[in-house]
Structure 1
Amino acid sequence: MTRTGDEVLEYPIPAPGALDAPAEWAELQQRCPVARAKLPSGDEVALLTRYADVREVLSDARFGRQLDAPDAARVSDTESGGLFNSEMSSALPQSGEGHKRWRRLLNRWFTAKRVAALRPKVEAMAEQLVDEMVERGAPADLKAGFGFPLPVWVICDVLGVPTADRDRFSRWSDTFLNLTRFTEEEFTTAEREFFAYMDEHVAAKRAQPGEDLLSELIPATDSEGERMPDRMLSATGLALLIAGHETTANTIGKMVAVLLADRRRWERLLADRSLVRTAVEEALRFDANSGLGMVRYLHEDVVVAGTELPRGTTVMCNMAAANRDPSAFEAADEMDLGRSPNPHLAFGAGAHSCLGQALARTELQVTLEVLLRRLPTLELAVPVAELQRLEGLVVGGLREVPVRW
């Protein structure tokens, strides 16, 4: 059926399989690049699926993620609207000069040099996790046994928080990222508990600094000579904990699953390990299950793809669809492990692009290097058709990644 600008799509759009892209993406790109879509909250957004349009809006510094405006769309079906309307979001500057200063403070930590220094630790942890998986024996859930604990350990190390608290972080993060499962009371309880934990952690780091990001941020000053308020420090810790383990943990599982779904991909990497870096980038581009997308709130009228969007519109930028746009990528629906260049939008673009993308890339590269070396016979323990998506989250993922070797 041909889509029209008057039809309102249910969003997220269902996919035929856990690793598959919805057929509607191609149709929207061809016939309806600015579509009307309804979120789980019932609120409506303007949905963008073309690469050029998504990149344009994400790169436009005029538009931020300030979804606390009365006319902004609520992402989740809770009364407040969930993650993007949370106290954490309001405590962090979402646009303008304040956002730039906040990012500059954090960028001092997420440098290539700092991330490279972490790599031996990440490799050692990955080796340990494989040892534990082998000891327990096959079949195993790669997500639970490797994909989740690796990035949790890494981000806990970065923030100087105890890895032993990871179950609490997971529970709180799941509540923040879920679109439909939790009530407003459950969300506010999780937010209050998470903030109380991080407030206490920041106070402890102020009294006794360590070699971690928060210990460096506490005394740091921005270009205006100002320091982060305590609430912003706590919100920064929350944001990094949520982004630093949920997204990467799910991406590890999806990356390995898509490589094993067609055995020729895994065999090609076994034959040529130099492809690991480009394979990681292609797995990020090819990911059809990356979650909701990025939202933007328009503070002024703007024209996108010939469509006038008025001030007050909430825009949903679907990066996964954009990464499959044939006008931007040759053979966009094919996975090419050697694709280069690969200007995908998996980490966003512009002022709000992912702060920790260098760290995420390192974790994904280490994952492949260690698994290829230690478990060359790795394969899915179930047919691809039996893999199941995680439903109802802002981020995309698989419930399990059953493997054997």
Structure 2
Amino acid sequence: MTTTETRQYPFSQSDRLDVDPLFAVLRREEPLCRVQMPYGEPAWLATRYADVKVVLGDARFSRAAATGRDQPRIRAHAGPPGNIMSLDPPEHSRLRRLVMSAFTMRRVEALRPRAQEIADGLVDRMIADGSPGELVEGFALPLPITVICELLGVPVEDRREFRVWSDAFLSTTKFTPQEVADNVGQLREYMTGLIADRRRRTRDDLLSALVIARDQDDRLSEDELLSMAEAILVAGHETTASQIPNFVWVLLRNPAHLAALRENPDLVAKAVEELMRWVPLGIGGSTARYALEDVELGGVTVRAGEPVVVALNSANRDESVFTEPDSIDFARADAPHVGFGFGAHHCLGAPLARMELQVALRTLVTRLPGLREAGEVRWKSGLATRAPEHFPIAWD
């Protein structure tokens, strides 16, 4: 590595949904810079949109090569080896194909009426209880958890445990390493019990399909079965549960955009894409990719064996790609955002998350007139993602 300065990364403590202004400087002056994350070896950080897509989409950069390395990361725990996020094609593709059919656009659209039914039921309950209400516990969390539980075949009544387990997976400082290990162990024990139940009696759900793929078709190992089920449960609700209150928080600070959605709810799909671009969900870089050979990137040579992390939040604000990137524009016609990643590891559940976010926004803006904050918003801390954990709201 030949850069003159190694910066501590993340560059600053995240404040709500602010994007560190240093990203703009780096995109202009040092698009590939050297960083030291809280854990692991030093790395390159890619900040430009084009470079981020190369790192995420080019086979010369490998996730599997991180195995056995002290990979750069924001959490003490690096995650279990051999899960789908730690693999490269074709092994990654093999596991991904097992569940892709559950997340196709056609399958997800078939779920939309049920998601709308759940959303309406949650709002009905909030209205019956009276204004003010609580957005996170009353709506943002139960909506995606109920959808993914029904899809996977997990009892939705256990959702309070899911939230703790999800936080443990995403913990930077909220939990100690031992607490993280304990919670991950509890989740694994829970999923092991559900898998045993499906072996006794299969049902019409995704978990049964995975068990059949393991036991009858021998297309994945027992560890892969467990890891896949855990990942679907956690990732299948976490992003949506965080982005619903994030989006509402942004809209309440941009009343013209909120009014536009109220006047024309058909703008919701475009609004979701623009807010996915604009909202900086993560506080740090992606999981590291390791160069398999020397690669010219961002004006420097990344040597074989060196790790690179990407700043999705910076890529989505790249002024060379997006017109007025710090502004929100529901009519934006610029390049697609990378809020769901890119390449082989592009978020498998992106169609489901998009649908749920569309249902959530449309329901909130059409059924809660005069939607507004009703007290102090308390934000998550000590986690890898940003979102309110307590969001009191009122309506007319």
TM score, norm. by length of structure 1: 0.90
- How does 1:313-324 map onto structure 2 within 5 Å? 313-324=306-317
Match of 1:401 in 2: 391
Shift of 1:378: 0.6
Quick one: distance in 2 between partners of 1:363 and 1:45?
A: 35
Quick one: distance in 2 between partners of 1:326 and 1:301?
A: 28
- How does 1:270-309 map onto structure 2 within 5 Å? 270-298=262-290, 299-309=292-302
Q: Does 1:391 align with 2:381?
A: yes
Q: Which runs of 5+ in 1 are unaligned?
A: none
Amino acid at match of 1:20: D
Q: Name the SS of the counterpart of 1:315 in structure 2.
A: strand
Match of 1:241 in 2: 233
1:278 touches 1:337 (CA, 8 Å); kept in 2?
A: yes
Q: Name the SS of the counterpart of 1:270 in structure 2.
A: helix
Q: Name the SS of the counterpart of 1:325 in structure 2.
A: coil
Q: Which of 29, 39, 42 is the matching residue for 1:41? A: 39
Quick one: distance in 1 between partners of 2:355 and 2:232?
A: 16
Quick one: distance in 1 between partners of 2:16 and 2:83?
A: 35
Q: Name the SS of the counterpart of 2:313 in structure 1.
A: helix
Quick one: distance in 2 between partners of 1:117 and 1:91?
A: 29
Q: Name the SS of the counterpart of 2:388 in structure 1.
A: coil
- How does 1:138-177 map onto structure 2 within 5 Å? 138-177=131-170
Match of 1:6 in 2: 4
Q: Name the SS of the counterpart of 1:46 in structure 2.
A: strand
- 1:94-152 residue CA offsets vs partner (Å, 9 max, x unmatched): 11211111111211221122111111111111011112222333333312221111111
| Closer/same/farther in 2, CA of residues 75 and 332 from structure 1, 3 Å limit | same
Quick one: distance in 2 between partners of 1:295 and 1:55?
A: 14
Shift of 1:304: 1.2
Shift of 1:41: 2.4
Quick one: distance in 1 between partners of 2:54 and 2:10?
A: 22
2:73 touches 2:287 (CA, 8 Å); kept in 1?
A: no
Query: Identity, % of aligned pairs?
Result: 39
- How does 1:353-372 map onto structure 2 within 5 Å? 353-372=346-365
Quick one: distance in 2 between partners of 1:338 and 1:274?
A: 12
Q: Name the SS of the counterpart of 2:390 in structure 1.
A: coil
Quick one: distance in 1 between partners of 2:383 and 2:67?
A: 20
Q: Which of 17, 20, 24 is the matching residue for 1:19? A: 17
Amino acid at match of 2:22: E
Match of 1:194 in 2: 187
Amino acid at match of 2:382: G
Amino acid at match of 1:305: G
- 1:312-331 residue CA offsets vs partner (Å, 9 max, x unmatched): 32222111110010101111
| Closer/same/farther in 2, CA of residues 168 and 113 from structure 1, 3 Å limit | same
Quick one: distance in 1 between partners of 2:191 and 2:60?
A: 31
Alignment: residue pair count:
390
- How does 1:75-114 map onto structure 2 within 5 Å? 75-77=74-76, 82=77, 85-87=78-80, 89-92=81-84, 94-114=87-107
Structural RMSD (CA):
2.2
Amino acid at match of 2:44: A
Q: Does 1:350 align with 2:350?
A: no
- 1:288-324 residue CA offsets vs partner (Å, 9 max, x unmatched): 2433232233133322112112233222211111001
| Closer/same/farther in 2, CA of residues 289 and 346 from structure 1, 3 Å limit | same
Shift of 1:342: 4.7
Amino acid at match of 1:293: G
